[in-house]
Amino acid sequence: MEILSQIIKMLYRIRYWLIIIPLITTLIAIYQTRNLERTYEVNTTIYTGIASGFTIESGTEGVSRVDWNSVSNGMDNIMSIIKSKATLREVSIRLYAQHMMKGDSLVDNNFIKAENYRNVLRITPKEVRALIDKTSEQKTIENLNNYEKASPSNFVYGLFNWYHPYYSYTALSRIQVRRIFNSDMLEIAYSANDPGVAHNTLLLLLEEFVKQYEFLRFGETNNVIEYFRRVLAELAKKLRMSEDSLTQYYIDKKVINYGEQTKQITALARDYDLLYYDILLKYTSSSELVRNLDEKIKEQTKMIENNSLFINKITTISSLSEKIARLELFQRDSISTYIPVIEQYKLELKNAENDLKSFTTKDQELRYTKEGIAVTSFVEEWIVQLIQREKSAAELTVMEEVRRSLDEQYVYFSPIGSTLKRMERDIGFTENSYLSVLQSLNTALMRQKNLEMTAATFKPINPPLFPVSPIKNARRLIVIITFFGTIALVIGYFIILEFFDRTVRDRLRAERMIPATVLGAFPGKSKIRYRGYNNEYMRIATNYMANSIVPYLNPKERPNIINFISTEELTGKSTLISQLNEYWTERGLRVRLISWHENLDDKTREYILSNNLSELYDYENEDIILVEHQSIRKSAIPVGLLREASLNLVILRADKVWRDIDKIAFDRLKEQSNNSPLMLYLTNTKREEAESFLGMLPPFTKFRTIVYRFMQFGLTSK
């Protein structure tokens, strides 16, 4: 509450500053804004269709939900494209070309005012004017683009990069773009001091924005599509070459179906192995039997083996058996044209066997041994086993050839398999890559179509309308801001001054800076408005001062000494003492005045070494002795005189600064006073500060009464 009270008092103290300074600045603002230019605003609303628009993917499975992050990102991208330098530069060039082609220096039109056109014409160099083709806007723009160079001296380059009010980036960047809530719509607004400029700027912006969007998005998609098509063609060529290479390899290696062929070879090898071991078993068995029978009938076997007819028969049987074995192997390979030949060979083989058997039965020597023992059964058995052995031997010869052939086929087909797998794997990888790129190409084409559909939805719902009246300018706002801003600055200045100012001024500041208790305040003399009340103010202040001192007087210990002390001269000590003397004398008190001006010599030895006032003066039954000391910066006060006093009053001028030297002197005085009361008294204070002690001072007008009550927070008092 105390702080609030101080704030109110400060505002009341600077009331004239708060009225005069803001009033002056407000009048200056009103004068300076008398010719403030009028502004015309144009706005438009465009529908983007990013969230709710129809696309190729609309309604398809998995695409029914809206990705709001993507939608938000898309809207941000569109707004960035609208405000991008590339878009605004195209708008700047087209707007300038339009003004140069259709502007009129005498009559305002819907493109630019005559005055503004004259300004543009005045700054345009002759060589740039020569570039304007009033029959073709496109040709004019081409000429300007060809003329433009990135140089500070190039006029066309400077139009966008300098600070022109219509064509510069600084001016065009004031275009405002915002999304309407969470919808698909964007609101674009622009204002200028020329209605035609504002209107045509937005019209050109709508056209250029769509072009820039299509250029960025389609350019990106077209590059991707071109890349996919190029890669797809390369993969198709590679795939075709790989397949042709595989086909040629099949032809070169005479492979029709590698898997089936290898299965057949494996099956044949298995069957031939079984047949081979079966024939080998027969051959081994028959050979063993022939060897055993040879031991029993050696003489007969030697006779038979030495017979040329027998040898021919055996050779015939072996040859026929080999031929039959070969042809039967072909028959296993599903070749049926050799069946009659096989039957013929088998018949010849049977006849040869019968001839051989009949040959052994005709010879008498072969039927009996020399001892006359019959061996016919052994000879017949030997012949049978011999025939079997020769047949098995012939078949083994054929089977070994077959096994060698199968081994050769294994050696032939084994590398073919790994090569085919490698070639097929390469073809499969290429084919998968081809299909993947084809799918990516289809996705890119579909995205391109989506972009075409999206760009087609960029339509203005509310087309830009030509403004017929300007918007309210900021003159009123400027004046209001100037007025209240000045008030804030004045208050801020005085608040800063309040913090750093070391002027004593009032009770709170004195007690905060010194610190010590302020006993009271004596108002300064009013020179103009309230000078007629100066005597009344002095009477009231003297009365308050006397009453404030009385509690410190002790009737049992007379006289009561009151020391009036100051840190500097001209603080009003003499006036206070004079008023108190007069006041107390009128009330019958015996008062004695002692002053350094008259009867108190502070330079004598007695004064400097004194412990009390009675050593310097004889008391004459006084009630109160008022002692005025010289400034403590010039003369020290003996400790005894300070400690025997009923009250030590330090008199301070409220309009003087509290210096460091004053603080040092006061701290020393406070230490010397010990338990003797040491208090402050302010003089020459303002009337409002004195009222904190004295109450409301005259005159008691109604207005002053209300103000005083308000400053004392008596808001509901009567």
pLDDT of residue 61: 47
Chain centroid to Cα 690, Å, comes to 62
Helix (H) or strand (E) holding 229: helix 195-253
Task: Please tell me whether the peptide bond between 125 and the residue prior to it is cis, using omega within 30 degrees of 0.
Answer: no
Same domain, 558 and 546: yes
Query: Which phi and psi angles does 647 have, rounded to 5°?
Result: -155, 135
pLDDT of residue 176: 92
Look at residue 103 and tell me if it is in a domain: yes
Same domain, 580 and 627: yes
Query: Which phi and psi angles does 125 have, rounded to 5°?
Result: -65, 160
CA distance 389 to 291: 11
Q: Which of 482, 501, 520 is the last residue of a domain?
A: 501
Same domain, 617 and 640: yes
Same domain, 559 and 697: yes
Look at residue 249 and tell me if it is in a domain: no
Look at residue 465 and tell me if it is in a domain: no
Torsion of CA 494, 496, 499, 501, to 10 degrees: -60
Same domain, 416 and 551: no
pLDDT of residue 480: 92
Look at residue 460 and tell me if it is in a domain: no
Same domain, 129 and 264: no
List Cβ neighbours of 70 (8 Å cut-off, separation of 6 or more): none
Same domain, 295 and 151: no
Q: What 3-state class would DSSP assign to 40?
A: strand
Look at residue 458 and tell me if it is in a domain: no
Cα dist from 337 to 323, 334, 399, 606, whole Å: 15, 9, 21, 169
pLDDT of residue 122: 92
Query: Which phi and psi angles does 595 have, rounded to 5°?
Result: -135, 145
CA distance 216 to 221: 9
Number of domains within the chain: 4
Mean pLDDT by 10 residues, the chain (718 residues): 69 85 92 83 86 53 60 84 91 93 91 92 92 91 91 90 90 91 87 92 90 75 83 89 86 78 76 76 77 64 60 72 68 58 74 67 50 56 71 76 77 78 87 89 79 67 87 85 93 85 82 86 80 82 89 82 89 88 89 82 75 77 87 84 88 88 87 88 84 74 67 60
Cα dist from 509 to 14, 225, 447, 656, 684, whole Å: 17, 82, 77, 12, 15
pLDDT of residue 536: 85
Same domain, 305 and 193: no
pLDDT of residue 337: 64
Chain centroid to Cα 539, Å, comes to 75
Which residues form the domain of 166? 38-225
DSSP code at position 631: P
Neighbour count for residue 548 (Cβ, 10 Å): 16
pLDDT of residue 642: 86
Q: What 3-state class would DSSP assign to 453?
A: helix
Same domain, 557 and 545: yes
Closest CA to 583 of 554, 626, 552: 626
Instruction: Output the pTM of the full model.
Output: 0.47
Same domain, 482 and 510: no
Look at residue 462 and tell me if it is in a domain: no
Question: Which CATH number belongs to the domain containing residue 509 in this structure?
Answer: 3.40.50.300
pLDDT of residue 711: 63
